Structure 1
Amino acid sequence: MTDALSIARDLIRCPSVTPADAGALDVLENLLKAAGFAVHRVTFSEPGTADIDNLYARIGNSAPHITFAGHTDVVPAGDEAAWSVGAFSGEVRGGYLYGRGAVDMKGGIACSVAAVLGYLKDRGVKPREDGKGSISFLITGDEEDVSVNGTVKLLQWAAAAGEKFDHCVLGEPSNQEAMGDCIKIGRRGSQSGTLIVEGVQGHVAYPHRAQNPVPDIARLIVALSDEPLDHGSAQFQPSNLEFTSVDVGNSATNVIPGQARARFNIRYNDLHTQESLRELVEERVAKVAGNRMRAHIEWQPSNSNVFLTKPGPFTDLAVAAIEEVTGRKPELSTTGGTSDARFIAGYCPVIEFGLVGQTMHQIDERAAVADIEKLTRIYRGILERYFG
């Protein structure tokens, strides 16, 4: 069966908890090969990480080239006894498809595959035969974990093979409450670090012989938290710095610690680059610390950079397709966490649009069958408008 619901059920029945594939990519490979796609299975590895199987499939050899991206790996089911149905059963009950990945994001992949196969069948010719462009799929298996051997390397592999993408639709569950309420056109960047204040360890009864870093780090935490990084931009909400832990590594009550550490994360908008953001925070630390405190920041490596697909013809055609099916004009949003779109944005404009994300990663993750049907029709509408 090549309808979206059947494909989604087949994918859910593969317990592909990262890094396992469990046959999920085989399901897609068989469907796409039968439709005439050239399918490549590419495995990437790196010391200290699990090998990850990925899939790239393309039909057509001319521009414009639209690619549908996604991931078949899922988070663990959690307490499977707490599920109303088997976490990997793909059962339909009460108008909902249940199972880990139903929303995030095997359901979205199934809709894109069903839409593409239906579009090609109804058009009667393959894109490469009528010169009207190309369609491809970029599917990874490690988005829910460290994202090392998946989309990043698959994009690099594709570029080295001469593949060029004009636009991308990533099927992440972008809708908040109902189908058609939100398209993600960008994401804020993410940067983590540790604020470290050095002191001098000593006995609490002789504070003049020590230097307590705890009050100092408290002052720095308040100063960094109170002063806004910015006030937002045309497409993004304000950047925010949030402290997530404070630690002195001290189990004794009669010892002044020699060091205090505070971990933080910043979600930043397009008013900053990673480099300018780090400089800004370090300048503020130096200003408060002065000559009295010995403070510095250890920055963690980050590949979560800010990106934005500017509104234009591509977003317009997506909005039109969504509005036609749902009757809603979606918000063009840049809120939320990170996704693989941050990697894809370096190769082509990308939007995120998928199912309603309310139950993703939860017990009894589920997608309305009606929403699966709507999303398939929306993707079909995008294709029809894209190839005109």
Structure 2
Amino acid sequence: MLNALPDLTDPTAVLQRLVHCPSVTPDDAGALATLEQLLLPLGFAVARPVFTEAGTADIANLFARSGTAGPHLTFAGHTDVVPPGNTADWKHPPFSGIIEDGELYGRGAVDMKGGIACFVAALARHHARGGLPPGQVSLLITGDEEGPAVNGTVKLLAWAAERGEKFDACVVGEPTNPAALGDMIKIGRRGSLSGTVTVRGVQGHVAYPHLADNPVRGLMALMDALLAEPLDSGNDRFQASNLEITALDTFGNVSTNVIPGRASASFNIRFNDEWTPESLSAEIERRLALAAGNRRWRGERDEPLAFDVAFRPNPSDAFLTSDAALTKALSEAVQSVTGRVPALSTSGGTSDARFIKDHCPVVEFGLVGKTMHMSNERVALSDLETLTEIYDAFIARWFAAHA
């Protein structure tokens, strides 16, 4: 059992309690139980479903709701964190929540227990003033965002839908601001498609290349074909699509005098809304087939390259949120607290917003992300207070617009 509850209106105190849980994916380590105990005094009904799938770890999740009717605003996030790495590189123990020079240190302080703490504190301030605006507020919190994302938000959303939950808008509390609070709201994300190209050759001695077929030669030609021409030049909604080679493998060949029998390259593409996963996969296959037909293993051989390409399942679509009321309420809340007009951006990577978009309009706004996933991850206490004030103002503005 927890000790006495912290001051729920104080995001620093709430965050310290959450950081103390070493919830490295997939281990919950008490994080969701802690969050439940923080929400119960605010009048939330809390469920903690656990989802499972063969070949993956069981994952605990949390759904909490206040109110039973009216417009429904949900906040989404995750209590799981990436490993701290070498703890010797940390100024303070990574799950200590120690405060020094106005900053709170701890894994997850920014990504994204800090965002959760600020939203809880904002709810607590509404509660202290007499309660939330008429309607429904909920939290969708997973323990599987930093992992394979199999037993987390996707299944939690399906679980909620089966119980009749319908959401009108969602804010994801990921750290979206590059330099200062108020810089940026994410209103969409590029899609993500990953794959691996494998070239088959014939293993042999490097001194007798005529008896072997070196697959690395062919692999280089295929990768050059993928990288030679831009996929697109971007548009007024999204930056250009981008392909990066992320890994090379010769399947355990470590000898400098052996030609490998196989070679592979993995890649990831972050793509804009000019593509779908299907059209982009077809383009990749077209470029590879063209390159394979135009090149040979060696000048004296006639055989085309023998290769295959495998795409990872469950690619992410590009999406753009066009809910004017949602972006207006959040933008005005940011400006009222910080004086900044936030950029409405689709830059960066992916998040669980890619799943939520299929259920309701979704935007992302949270802390400054400079130290996320780093040693000495930390957040300024002043930023925790500012984000709490923004969430507080946003909740009031969003419900006022839906009254």
TM-score for the superposition, normalised by structure 1: 0.93
Cα shift at 1:379: 0.4
Residue 48 of structure 2 aligns to a residue in which SS? Answer: strand
Cα shift at 1:157: 0.2
Residue 165 of structure 1 aligns to a residue in which SS? Answer: coil
* Corresponding residue to 1:60 among 47, 64, 67: 67
**Cα distance in structure 2, aligned partners of 1:39 and 1:313:** 28
Cα shift at 1:203: 4.9
Report the counterpart of residue 268 of structure 1 in structure 2. Answer: 271
**Cα distance in structure 1, aligned partners of 2:262 and 2:105:** 49
Residue 263 of structure 1 aligns to a residue in which SS? Answer: strand
AA in 2 matched with 1:114: A
Report the counterpart of residue 30 of structure 2 in structure 1. Answer: 23
Cα shift at 1:252: 4.5
Report the counterpart of residue 286 of structure 2 in structure 1. Answer: 283
Alignment of 1:199 with 2:201, yes or no, is yes
Cα shift at 1:231: 0.9
AA in 2 matched with 1:229: L
2:323 touches 2:361 (CA, 8 Å); kept in 1? Answer: no
Residue 395 of structure 2 aligns to a residue in which SS? Answer: helix
AA in 2 matched with 1:105: M
* Corresponding residue to 1:306 among 309, 318, 324: 318
What percentage of aligned pairs have identical amino acids?
Answer: 57
2:177 touches 2:367 (CA, 8 Å); kept in 1? Answer: yes
* Corresponding residue to 2:230 among 224, 228, 231: 228
For residues 114-193 of structure 1, the aligned pairs below 5 Å read: 114-122=121-129, 124-125=130-131, 132-193=134-195
2:325 touches 2:398 (CA, 8 Å); kept in 1? Answer: no
From the superposition, tell whether residues 98 and 204 of structure 1 become closer, same or farther in structure 2 (CA, over 3 Å).
Answer: closer
Cα shift at 1:213: 2.8
For residues 50-129 of structure 1, the aligned pairs below 5 Å read: 50-122=57-129, 124-125=130-131
**Cα distance in structure 2, aligned partners of 1:178 and 1:287:** 47
From the superposition, tell whether residues 83 and 253 of structure 1 become closer, same or farther in structure 2 (CA, over 3 Å).
Answer: closer
**Cα distance in structure 2, aligned partners of 1:345 and 1:311:** 11
Report the counterpart of residue 398 of structure 2 in structure 1. Answer: 386
From the superposition, tell whether residues 262 and 346 of structure 1 become closer, same or farther in structure 2 (CA, over 3 Å).
Answer: same
From the superposition, tell whether residues 256 and 26 of structure 1 become closer, same or farther in structure 2 (CA, over 3 Å).
Answer: closer
For residues 41-52 of structure 1, the aligned pairs below 5 Å read: 41-52=48-59
- Of 309-318 and 169-178, more deviation after overlay is shown by 309-318
**Cα distance in structure 1, aligned partners of 2:395 and 2:211:** 72
Cα shift at 1:374: 0.6
Cα shift at 1:332: 1.1
**Cα distance in structure 2, aligned partners of 1:205 and 1:23:** 60
Report the counterpart of residue 383 of structure 2 in structure 1. Answer: 371
AA in 1 matched with 2:96: S
Q: What is the aligned residue count?
A: 383
**Cα distance in structure 1, aligned partners of 2:256 and 2:173:** 53
From the superposition, tell whether residues 100 and 133 of structure 1 become closer, same or farther in structure 2 (CA, over 3 Å).
Answer: same
**Cα distance in structure 2, aligned partners of 1:329 and 1:7:** 28
From the superposition, tell whether residues 260 and 27 of structure 1 become closer, same or farther in structure 2 (CA, over 3 Å).
Answer: closer
Q: Deviations over 1:86-117 (max 9, x none)?
A: 32222222111121111111111011011122
**Cα distance in structure 2, aligned partners of 1:251 and 1:377:** 57
1:105 touches 1:173 (CA, 8 Å); kept in 2? Answer: yes
Q: Which runs of 5+ in 1 are unaligned?
A: none
Q: Which runs of 5+ in 2 are unaligned?
A: 1-6, 295-303
1:190 touches 1:302 (CA, 8 Å); kept in 2? Answer: no
TM-score for the superposition, normalised by structure 2: 0.90
Cα shift at 1:232: 0.9
